[in-house]
Amino acid sequence: MDRDILDFTKSISFDKRLAPYDIEGSIAYAQMLGKCKIISKKEKDLLVKGLRSLKERIGRIPLENNEDIHTAVINLLRKEIGKTADKLHLGRSRNDQVVLDLRLYCKDEVKQVIEKIKKLQRSLWERAKDWRGLTIPFYTHLKNAQFILFAHQFLAYIGMLERDKGRLGDVFKRMDIMPLGSGAGRGSGLPLDRFYLAKKLNFSQVSENSLDSVSDRDFVIEFLSTLAILSMHLSRISEDFILFCSDEFGFIEGDDSHFTGSSILPHKKNPDPLELIRGYTGKMYGNLISVLVMMKGLPLSYNRDMQLDKPPLFDSLDIIKDSLNILEKIVSKLKVNKENLKRASSNEFIFATDIAEFLVTQGYSWQEAHNLTGKLVLESIRKKKPLKEMSDKELKKIIPELTQELILDFLDPLKSVRRIKTYGGSGPESVENQIKHWGKILR
Ligand code: ARG
């Protein structure tokens, strides 16, 4: 083969990552060939023994002068046991082999990602527990909305990540289908036992159509799409932390060993790792799009284009596992700045909705309550007089039900939060229930 063409078509530089799965699949395949009497017991034993010994050593063998991992394994096996190695490929094609390897790999990776999400959730849960008694404003349009318990925000993150775990579990079901025995795409004239293979390789199902089986990369696309959504969540959490660490908010602080200095500004402590998690999300989307576009025009069944599903898949898995590790590390050492949290409650207008809700309990319609509270806010702005400094007389002129004492009561963030009654809301009872609920699930 022309040297340049060979270099161009090779995939060994990246698919060597599949080596343990390729060998695992080959061992099961040899056992099946033996069991179905397609090869002799002696040949089967030799193949299995050779493959097992290869599995031990493959990490240390340079593979680069092979075209791909499948040919590398056969070539090495031939060196080890001689011509019998070629019997391994009876009825098998690289088309079903590569899907098998990829499915085995993805099934392992899903489990690893789920474990890492759990670890992050546990750290977030610890912060929720620590900060259950503290309040922060929540934001809509990045403007002060109302007060919530700080724990509520961390519990929200846990819920987002729980959905990611659910999606990964769903994708797993469609990865868990055994393709081997499909050959190049139409099956084989040899009496292969695909159900035996599924059992050996721990798959819950056998694929139903050999042509579809070698053509299908939906599980890669679904995986990448699930990881892209997960990455979007990590990016939003990072963005919240970046904001909350900023000098303007100052609600939380990262550990000195986690944030970075500046080459020119001596006072800086920058949230670079969080910015990179946010930045990498772009690559995660790109990887998904690249496989979607690569697949969209392919005729059935296998086409070499499909080799290009692996670099984006591997890249996304590397990024997501790193991001989960790093975010967990940062969360585990986050500190809160109570002074700055207090400062955040100096904006009296955050409590406007509390006043309006009170007026509804006094018999006003929501529209009336909204209007009157709006008037009160306007009066305070016009007169440049904080609500808490307005006299009973000034208050009653606008809203007869109000007194200075009542206003002072409204302006307390904890009291404000205690008024929340709804299931799933940020009231202390609901937050305690959420903490308990996740404590059980994440144990
Ligand atoms: N390296 C190829 C891939 O990753 C393996 C399958 C090659 N099959 C073929 N018929 N050329 O897709």
The answer, yes or no, to whether any atom of ligand 1 lies below 6 A from the CB of 213, is: no
The answer, yes or no, to whether any atom of ligand 1 lies below 6 A from the CB of 309, is: no
The answer, yes or no, to whether any atom of ligand 1 lies below 6 A from the CB of 68, is: yes
Q: At 383, which CATH number?
A: 1.10.40.30
**What domain range is 268 assigned to?**
95-133+161-193+200-336
**Domain identity same for 8 and 84:** yes
13, 40, 262, 365: the catalytic one is 262
> By alpha-carbon position, which residue is closest to atom 4 of ligand 1?
307
How many A from CA of 98 to the centre of ligand 1? 7
Let me know if 262 is a catalytic residue: yes
Instruction: Check if the beta carbon of residue 63 is closer than 8 Å to that of residue 72.
Output: yes
Angstrom distances, CA of residue 171 to CA of 76, 97, 107, 166, 168: 34, 20, 9, 9, 5
185: alpha, beta or left? (left if phi > 0; alpha if psi -120 to 50):
left
The overall longest dimension of the chain from CA atoms, in Å, is 102
pLDDT in tens, the chain (443 residues): 899 999 999 999 999 999 999 999 999 999 999 999 999 999 999 999 999 999 999 999 999 999 999 999 999 999 999 999 999 999 999 999 999 999 999 999 999 999 999 999 999 999 999 999 999 999 999 999 999 999 999 999 999 999 999 999 999 999 999 999 999 999 999 999 999 999 999 999 999 999 999 999 999 999 999 999 999 999 999 999 999 999 999 999 999 999 988 787 877 889 999 999 999 999 999 999 999 999 999 999 999 999 999 999 999 999 999 999 999 999 999 999 999 998 988 888 889 999 999 999 999 999 999 999 999 999 999 999 999 999 999 999 999 999 999 999 989 999 999 999 999 999 999 999 999 999 999 98
How many A from CA of 184 to the centre of ligand 1? 10
Question: Is residue 145 helix, strand or coil?
Answer: strand
**Domain identity same for 314 and 389:** no
Q: Provide the whole-model pTM.
A: 0.94
Render the burial of 255-276: b for 16+ CB within 10 Å, e for the rest.
eeebbeeeeeeeeebebebbee
How many A from CA of 71 to the centre of ligand 1? 10
For the chain, how many structural domains are there in total?
A: 3
Ligand 1, pocket-test mutation among 94, 100, 216, 302, most atoms within 8 A of CB: 94
The answer, yes or no, to whether any atom of ligand 1 lies below 6 A from the CB of 242, is: no
Tell me, what DSSP letter sits at residue 298? P
- The pair of three-digit structure tokens given for residue 207, joined into one six-digit string: 């694929």
Residues 6+ apart with CB under 8 A from 100: 21, 25, 178, 179, 180, 201
**Domain identity same for 83 and 180:** no
The enclosing H or E element of 115 equals: helix 94-130
**Domain identity same for 41 and 185:** no
How many A from CA of 78 to the centre of ligand 1? 20
The answer, yes or no, to whether any atom of ligand 1 lies below 6 A from the CB of 302, is: yes
Q: Helices 218-245 and 310-332 meet at what angle, rounded to 10?
A: 30
Q: At 71, which CATH number?
A: 1.10.275.10
Q: Answer yes or no: is 183 within a domain.
A: yes
Nearest in space to 25 (alpha carbons), one of 111, 81, 99: 99
- The DSSP annotation for 170-216 comes to HHHHHH-EE-TT-TTTT--SS---HHHHHHHTT-SEE-S-HHHHHH-
Ligand 1, pocket-test mutation among 294, 304, 314, most atoms within 8 A of CB: 304
- Main-chain dihedrals φ then ψ at residue 137, nearest 5 degrees: -75, 145
Let me know if 233 is a catalytic residue: no
Whether the link from the prior residue into 316 is cis, omega within 30° of 0, is no
Enumerate long-range contacts of 409-414, CB under 8 Å, 24 or more apart.
410/351, 410/354, 410/355, 410/358, 411/345, 411/348, 411/351, 411/387, 413/135, 413/147, 413/345, 414/133, 414/135
Domain boundary among 56, 73, 90: 90
The answer, yes or no, to whether any atom of ligand 1 lies below 6 A from the CB of 15, is: yes
Q: At 262, which CATH number?
A: 1.20.200.10
Nearest in space to 291 (alpha carbons), one of 303, 268, 307, 274: 307
141, 257, 263, 346: the catalytic one is 141
